[in-house]
Amino acid sequence: MAAFLLAKQVITANGTGPAMEVEPGTKLQLTMEILNVVEQESVEVRIEGSEDGETWMEKPLAAFPQKFYPGASAMLVSATRFIRARWLVNRWGRGSLAPRFELYLFAEPIASVALDSK
């Protein structure tokens, strides 16, 4: 069940991605890659959870810290039945104040590893 939580796209404003249904308790590796940016801007991506796909938890399941530059980041998260990405962008300085990030967010399940203590 590997899938894009957020397909490669250009982000220019705050927004929310589509909900993705997963098996509750599934451990996911989320990989976010920022491919292109302009200077003097930031993006923060939060992972939200829901049991029914309609009502979203007030507190995010996880969040990537603010990013300012291109590059890839990964994190692990335990999913609820539905997850989605919410992003917040900011731009400051001279010129146009419209932010512009090209990025994607990929989710893939990871196998639980049981350590045998024998």
pLDDT in tens, 46-57: 999 999 999 999
Interval 6-16 mean pLDDT? 96
Alpha carbons 109 and 77: distance in angstroms, whole number? 10
Residue 32 is classified by DSSP as E
Interval 17-43 mean pLDDT? 94
Under 8 Å between Cβ of 84 and 21? no
Q: What is the pTM of this model?
A: 0.88
Residue 85 has pLDDT above 50, yes or no: yes
Residue 24: which domain range?
3-109
* Paired tokens of 99: 């932010």
Query: What's the length of the chain?
Result: 118
* pLDDT at residue 111, rounded to an integer: 73
* pLDDT at residue 115, rounded to an integer: 45
Task: Please tell me which residue, 114 or 59, carries the higher pLDDT value.
Answer: 59
As for how many domains the chain has, the answer is: 1
Residue 72 has pLDDT above 50, yes or no: yes
Residue 116 belongs to some domain of the structure: no
**What are the phi and psi torsion angles at 51 (to 5°)?**
-85, -25
Residue 115 belongs to some domain of the structure: no
Under 8 Å between Cβ of 82 and 20? yes
Interval 98-117 mean pLDDT? 80
* Paired tokens of 61: 């399941």
**CATH number of the domain to which 26 belongs:** 2.60.120.1110
Residue 85: Cβ within 10 Å count = 24
Interval 78-89 mean pLDDT? 95
- Collapsing DSSP to helix, strand or coil, 12 comes out as coil
* Paired tokens of 13: 């404003």
Amino acid at position 106, single letter: F
* pLDDT at residue 44, rounded to an integer: 97
Residue 114 belongs to some domain of the structure: no
